[in-house]
Every structure is written in structure tokens, then in C-alpha cells.
Amino acid sequence: MISTHNALSPNDAGVAAQGRKAPDAKGQTGDVRSVMTKSMNAGVQRPAPGTIWHKSGEPLGAASNTASPRPDLSLVPAPRRESHDTRPAAAIGLRHGAQRLADRLIGSFSLVSTGPVLDVRAFDWTATLRRHWGSVHDEALAIVADDGETPLWHQGSGVADALPRCPETMALLHQIPGLESAAFVILPAATHRPMRRGPTKALITCDLGLRVPRCGDVRMRIHDRIVRWAEGETLMFDDSFAHEAWNEANGPRLVLRIRFARPLRGPGSWLARAILHILRRRRGPEIQA
């Protein structure tokens, strides 16, 4: 059994993983990693600390980074993929109506912006991710799956085999208050993810860009905003707004996708915990695009 005390601290997380390759079921390096490597110039540029997204959200306000409890690092099995919702249209409509009402209530108690794109400066831990993105990049290329998603954290706990495979990334994730889920997520070349909405406003999504093709356009529309990923940068958004994504480039896009609890005042945090409890029992929030 892996001890969580061996996880590296964020200060140690800047040392890039060296020489690690994850064989696929046939004993060879996966196609996705080969395509990503060939699609980019040799070497990975490490930008200086900071972010291009500091003006992407609403003006920075007083935000609490400690409104949600820090998750433990207990290990659980990897999540199973669930089938699509097959309930009658009336039941689905009722659920969506309840979701909209809950989202309005949660928004009224929010300590951060309730818009589609948020200012990353409201969350201090994003600066740590940007400083150590090179280590996350190297670990991702060593283990990334070719099915679009490699889970690391699910329903508030670490996935069982993630800690020994990418210890530096897991150490960084452990710093995030209210962490609900995290995964390495691929958007293949020539792909369009249709418009959808996330299950609740109780969660906020943060993407850390790891591989972004430079030939072509890789973008996402969130409500009335168009945003683009960049390597080594964090992008913060609320996926309860309608959103869709395109990769019109010649290679896949790879990000570390993080979903964490929205900082809320007292009554809102009680409602959010109840909603997350229901989502966890049902299937857990989806990670997509």
C-alpha cells in the first residue's frame, strides 16, 4: 500500500520527471504520446511565473481560498464510466429546473465571480501550478491514456494507482482546497465537443495547459466568451454555463483539468455539500473536453 507521506511537497515538485515511459497493452508507447511529441518542436519552453489570464475574468475581488476543507489523500479505485441518462423527458426537465434554481442560490452566496470566466488571481494555488507545470507535463506524457482521459482524483480522493505513477502532480493537487476531481484530458485533432452544461455551479474548473498545438486553432466557447489554452497557463471557468470546444489544429491538446469547490458563505456551502453528495451517489461530475 502506497503511503501518502512519501508524496513530494510543492517545493520539490519543480524537478521534472526523467526517462519515464508508459507502455500500452502491446508493450509500446501509446500513439497519443507519439502524435503529441511529433506535433511540437523539440523541448518544452518554461514561461516565467505569471499568467496571460489575469484580465480574462471580472475585476479581482476579495476571495476566500480556504472556504472549503482540504481533501484527504485516501485512495479509492478508479471511477467507472457510466451510461447516458435514459430517464423520461419530463423527469430530465424537472431535474434541470431544480439545477437552475440551485445554481442561482449558490451564486448568491459565492465569494468569487459568478461569471463564465474567472480571474485566476483569486486563487493563490494556481501560481504554484504554473511554476511547476513542466513537472506535470513530463508526468502526463509518461502515463497519458489514448481514450481521452486519465483520472487522478475522483470524488474528493486520489485514484489508487495515480500516486506512484505521477507523485509530483499528486503533491500539487493535494494543495488545492476543496478538490473534487482531476484528470489529464486530451482533445484530439480535428475534434468538436458539442455544447453542454456542467452539473452544478458548486464546482469551478481550472485547466493547466500542457500541450497546445501551435498550427491551427484550439478554442472553447463559454456562454458569450471565447478562450484559448496556452502551455504553462491556467484557465479558470464555470462549466455550468453552456460551453463547447474545438481542436482545429494538427495535433491533440492536453490539459490537467481540475474541478474544485466554489468558495461560498455559510448557507451556500451547506447547499453545495448536499448537491455534491447527490452527484457522488449518482455518478460523479463528468470531465470532458
What are residue 23's phi and psi, to 5 degrees?
-70, 150
Question: Which of 71-85, 103-117, 153-167 has the least mean pLDDT?
Answer: 71-85
Q: 206-228: per-residue pLDDT in tens?
A: 999 999 999 999 999 999 999 99
Q: 31-68: per-residue pLDDT in tens?
A: 545 545 444 444 444 444 444 444 444 344 434 333 33
- Domains along the chain with CATH numbers: 92-289 (2.60.120.330)
**Closest C-alpha to 238, from 217, 213, 218, 260:** 260
Grid cell locating 168: 509530483
What pLDDT is attached to residue 53? 47
Residues 6+ apart with CB under 8 A from 170: 7, 73, 152, 158, 162, 163
Q: Which residues sit opposite 256 in a β-bridge? A: 184, 208
